[in-house]
Structure 1
Amino acid sequence: MSEFPKTTASKKAKLSDVARLANVSASTVSRVLNQPQIVRPEIRERVQNAIVMLDYSPDRMAKALSSGKSHTIGTVVPTIGGSAIFSDGVEALQDELETRGYSLLVSSSQYDLEREFQQIKTLLDYGAAGLVLVGDTFSSDALRLIKKFGIPTVTTYTNKSRHGIPAIGIDNRLAAQNLTRLLLSLGHKKFGIIANIALQNDRSQARVDGVRDALAEAGVPLPISNVVEVKLPTIENGRRGLAGLLELVAVPTAIVCTTDALALGVMSEARRRGLHIPDDMSVVGFDDIDVAAETDPALTTVKNPAAEIGRIAAEYLSRAMDGHTIPLETELPARLSVRSSTGVAPADRSSAEVSPLE
Structure 2
Amino acid sequence: MVAKASVGLRDVARAAGVSTATVSRAINKPDVVSEELRLRIEAVIEHLGWVPDAAARALSTRRSGAVGAVFPTLTHGDFARTATILQHELLAEGFTLLLACSEYDPEQELRQVRKFVERGVDGIVLVGNEHLPELEKLLSRQNVPSINTFVYNRATHGKSIGPDNRKALFDVTNYLIDLGHRRIGVIWQSVANNDRAAERLAGVSDALSARGLSAWPYQIAKELSSIGEARSLLRRMMSTDLPPTAIICGNSYHAVGAELEALAMGLSVPGDVSIVGYDDIEIMSELPVPITTVRVPSDQIGQRAANHILARILGREDDTQFECRTEFVLRASTAPPRS
Flag whether TM exceeds 0.5 (same fold).
Answer: yes
Please tell me whether the aligned partners of residues 167 and 328 of structure 1 are also in contact (alpha carbons under 8 angstroms). Answer: no
Please tell me whether the aligned partners of residues 160 and 329 of structure 1 are also in contact (alpha carbons under 8 angstroms). Answer: no
Q: Match of 1:250?
A: 242
Separation in 1 of the partners of 2:150 and 2:239? 34
Q: For the structure 1 residues 183 and 164, does the alpha-carbon distance in structure 2 shift closer, same or farther, using more than 3 Å as the test?
A: closer
Q: Match of 1:330?
A: 322
CA offsets 1:80-113 (integer angstroms, 9 cap, x no match): 1x20111111111111111111110111111111
Separation in 1 of the partners of 2:208 and 2:156? 30
Q: Match of 1:172?
A: 165
Alignment partner of 1:278 is 2:270: yes
Alignment partner of 1:208 is 2:192: no
Q: Which has the higher contact order (CA 8 A, sep 6+)?
A: 1
**More displaced 10-residue stretch of structure 1: 142-151 or 82-91:** 142-151
Q: 1:117 deviation in Å? A: 1.2
SS of the residue corresponding to residue 204 of structure 1 reads helix
Please tell me whether the aligned partners of residues 158 and 322 of structure 2 are also in contact (alpha carbons under 8 angstroms). Answer: no
SS of the residue corresponding to residue 215 of structure 2 reads coil
Alignment partner of 1:77 is 2:71: yes
Output aligned runs, 1:23-34, within 5 Å.
none
Q: Match of 1:261?
A: 253
Q: 2:218 aligns with which of 222, 226, 231?
A: 226
Corresponding letter in the other structure for 1:151: V
Q: For the structure 1 residues 103 and 275, does the alpha-carbon distance in structure 2 shift closer, same or farther, using more than 3 Å as the test?
A: same
CA offsets 1:254-283 (integer angstroms, 9 cap, x no match): 110111111111112222222221111011
CA offsets 1:20-79 (integer angstroms, 9 cap, x no match): xxxxxxxxxxxxxxxxxxxxxxxxxxxxxxxxxxxxxxxxx9998544350001101111
CA offsets 1:321-353 (integer angstroms, 9 cap, x no match): 122475797111212100001111135xxxxxx
Please tell me whether the aligned partners of residues 164 and 328 of structure 1 are also in contact (alpha carbons under 8 angstroms). Answer: no
CA offsets 1:190-232 (integer angstroms, 9 cap, x no match): 0111111242211111111111111112222335x52435352
Specify every segment of 5 or more residues in structure 1 that has no aligned partner in the other structure, as ranges: 1-60, 348-358
**More displaced 10-residue stretch of structure 1: 160-169 or 202-211:** 160-169
Output aligned runs, 1:282-293, within 5 Å.
282-293=274-285
Please tell me whether the aligned partners of residues 191 and 253 of structure 1 are also in contact (alpha carbons under 8 angstroms). Answer: yes
SS of the residue corresponding to residue 226 of structure 1 reads strand
Separation in 1 of the partners of 2:130 and 2:319? 20
Please tell me whether the aligned partners of residues 159 and 329 of structure 1 are also in contact (alpha carbons under 8 angstroms). Answer: no
Corresponding letter in the other structure for 2:198: Q
Q: Match of 1:150?
A: 143
Q: Match of 1:94?
A: 87
Please tell me whether the aligned partners of residues 136 and 161 of structure 1 are also in contact (alpha carbons under 8 angstroms). Answer: no
Please tell me whether the aligned partners of residues 166 and 326 of structure 1 are also in contact (alpha carbons under 8 angstroms). Answer: no
RMSD across aligned positions (CA): 2.4
CA offsets 1:149-183 (integer angstroms, 9 cap, x no match): 22110111111386787211111111101111111
Give me the TM-score of the superposition, normalised by structure 1.
Answer: 0.73
**More displaced 10-residue stretch of structure 1: 330-339 or 306-315:** 330-339
Separation in 2 of the partners of 1:282 and 1:313? 35
Number of equivalences: 285
Please tell me whether the aligned partners of residues 219 and 233 of structure 2 are also in contact (alpha carbons under 8 angstroms). Answer: no
Q: 1:236 deviation in Å? A: 2.8
